[in-house]
Structure 1
Amino acid sequence: MACGGDYRQWPFLTTEEFELVCAFFDRKYVKAELGPTRKIFKIRLRRTLTTGSSYIEILRLLQLPEEKDDLSLAFEKLNSDLDGPGVDVDMLTAAEDADQVRGSFQSLKTTLRPQLQNQHGGAMDSGALPRYSLHSDQPYVTYEVHLHPTYNMPTLWFTLHDLPMGEPTFNLESVYRYLVPPGYKSRLRAAGFTGGISAAPHPVTDVPAFFIHPCQTKEAMESFDCTMANYLMIWLGLVGGCVGLWIPPEMAAEEA
């Protein structure tokens, strides 16, 4: 299926085209049969107040706590960060959901692990994340997809939150420790700040944040043929894995 007619200049996006691909992506999340995964992986379509431009926000817990009460508190914190107009909020009923959600979290990791192994030709090391204090907020990551004003391509921004005491959130080593899978680490370090992980003021808040530099995205996307309904699914499949962002397979199965 040819996609060139769907875009003004494939694979670049105009502002209007980016609005459409974001809306399609948000609809995939809303319609997908995610089950308990929806509790630990949150997506919403957002809009800036100053410019009115759209962007995608994705939140996920870095690791599930062992205690059910702490798990419930973590979900409440994640939901409170998504509270607002037009938000798809799943209310956590009680601790009885904890075992089901933890099983979904492990199932999602098991599903995605072979993808990473196949792409990088080797087994992943355990890469166990540091254990968290039972009395601290549960660490999570916020990903955002914004349209780059110069490259006219989506750009993935990300920030860490509520890391254990003494671990800075705006720190490249923290990014490698908590987000970057083992199979990507050497390649990203070799790329440096050009073509790899970069840092700059966030496009909305102006607070320092990290992003994946979009300079090589064009070449990667040109080898695919996709409609606007699947643009962000393909793009995130290419870009997101290097910082631990994998889209639930149920979203890929959902027809727009």
Structure 2
Amino acid sequence: MSCYNQCRQWPFLSQEEFELACAFFDRKYIRAELGPTRRIFKVHHRRDATTGTSFIEILRLLSLPDDEDALVAALGKLGRDYSTGLLMEIDSNNENEDAEALRPDIIDGIQTEGKDPPKYSLHSHQPYVIYQIHLHPTYNVPTLWFTLYDLPMGEPAFDLDSVYRYLVPDEFKGRLRAAGIMGGLSGAPHPLTDVPSFFIHPCQTKEGMENLNCPIDDYLIVWLGLVGGCVGLWVPPVMCIKDTGKQ
């Protein structure tokens, strides 16, 4: 069967199809043998309790601190709920059996709560980025939003120069600047918080995805391969290995 048949209107996604794609992506992260990569790359499948819609959140340290204690302090704050305080984490099968799947917002089986963006200790100051994947309500394709946090004093987070300095690899800078606002990086109020954030405009997603015959469980992996690299987001290769479903 063609993979196109798994979506009603390839490459566009309905809300139900997007929810399924998010669940598959989260499962790939949980089951992957990522090793030390989990220390700086964390994936959460979240749901907005107000609208009921789900999305993927990816947190990544921009660099590793030299001090191991600073790293522990930094990671201790990563992964907590934030923004409106109305976000819920979606439990995934086999998560409790995965020793690598570090979930710092669950301590001794109790879900912790937090209404502020994740912050590091005063002694760590580790810049990090939060990526979020939401379904665009008009284009009906995934959209990658991202926000920088804890940059050095004097460097604004919502600033295009900061994005190019910390996230955009050199090989993408000329291409992104030439693409202009509609074809590259855009700024708008975040779909959940209304705080100004950056996103990659989805106007070219259809052209990029329509000839790629991938199943729904690989949709976000393939899509991120097209759009993520230009803002420093790469899916660990081990997550791209086909899931056999074995425990």
TM over 0.5: yes
In the alignment, the residues of structure 2 paired with residue 45 and residue 229 of structure 1 have an alpha-carbon distance, to the nearest angstrom, of 14
TM superposition score normalised by structure 1: 0.79
Other structure's SS at 2:182 match: coil
Q: Which residue of 1 aligns with 2:170?
A: 182
In the alignment, the residues of structure 1 paired with residue 102 and residue 16 of structure 2 have an alpha-carbon distance, to the nearest angstrom, of 30
In the alignment, the residues of structure 2 paired with residue 34 and residue 84 of structure 1 have an alpha-carbon distance, to the nearest angstrom, of 24
- Match for 1:158 among 141, 146, 150? 146
Q: Which residue of 1 aligns with 2:123?
A: 135
Question: Is 1:250 matched up with 2:212?
Answer: no
| Gap change, CA 1:215 and 1:150, over 3 Å in 2 | same
| Code of the aligned partner of 1:12 | F
Within a 5 Å distance, the mapping from 1:79-158 to structure 2 comes to 79-80=79-80, 85-86=89-90, 90=102, 135-158=123-146
In the alignment, the residues of structure 2 paired with residue 84 and residue 41 of structure 1 have an alpha-carbon distance, to the nearest angstrom, of 20
Following superposition, the deviation at residue 66 of structure 1 comes to 1.1
Q: Which residue of 1 aligns with 2:119?
A: none
Following superposition, the deviation at residue 79 of structure 1 comes to 4.2
| Gap change, CA 1:73 and 1:143, over 3 Å in 2 | same
Other structure's SS at 2:155 match: coil
Following superposition, the deviation at residue 78 of structure 1 comes to 1.7
| Code of the aligned partner of 1:209 | S
| Gap change, CA 1:36 and 1:81, over 3 Å in 2 | farther
Q: 4+ residue stretches of structure 1 with deviation over 3 A?
A: 79-89
Q: Does the 8 Å CA contact 2:44/2:79 hold for their aligned counterparts?
A: no
TM superposition score normalised by structure 2: 0.82
Q: Which residue of 1 aligns with 2:18?
A: 18
Within a 5 Å distance, the mapping from 1:20-99 to structure 2 comes to 20-80=20-80, 85-86=89-90, 90=102
Q: Does the 8 Å CA contact 1:136/1:164 hold for their aligned counterparts?
A: no
Q: Does the 8 Å CA contact 1:141/1:160 hold for their aligned counterparts?
A: yes
In the alignment, the residues of structure 2 paired with residue 145 and residue 79 of structure 1 have an alpha-carbon distance, to the nearest angstrom, of 15
Following superposition, the deviation at residue 135 of structure 1 comes to 3.5
- How far does the alpha carbon of each residue in 1:96-155 deviate from its partner, in whole angstroms, 9 at most, with x for none? xxxxxxxxxxxxxxxxxxxxxxxxxxxxxxxxxxxxxx9352110000000000000000
Q: Which residue of 2 aligns with 1:238?
A: 226
What is the identity percentage for the equivalent residue pairs of Structure 1 and Structure 2?
Answer: 65
Following superposition, the deviation at residue 86 of structure 1 comes to 4.3
| Code of the aligned partner of 1:190 | A
Q: Does the 8 Å CA contact 1:56/1:145 hold for their aligned counterparts?
A: yes
| Code of the aligned partner of 2:54 | S
Aligned length: 215
Following superposition, the deviation at residue 77 of structure 1 comes to 2.2
Structure 1: where are the runs of 5+ without partners? 93-133
In the alignment, the residues of structure 2 paired with residue 146 and residue 91 of structure 1 have an alpha-carbon distance, to the nearest angstrom, of 21
Structure 2: where are the runs of 5+ without partners? 96-100, 105-121
Q: Does the 8 Å CA contact 1:79/1:90 hold for their aligned counterparts?
A: no
| Code of the aligned partner of 2:191 | P
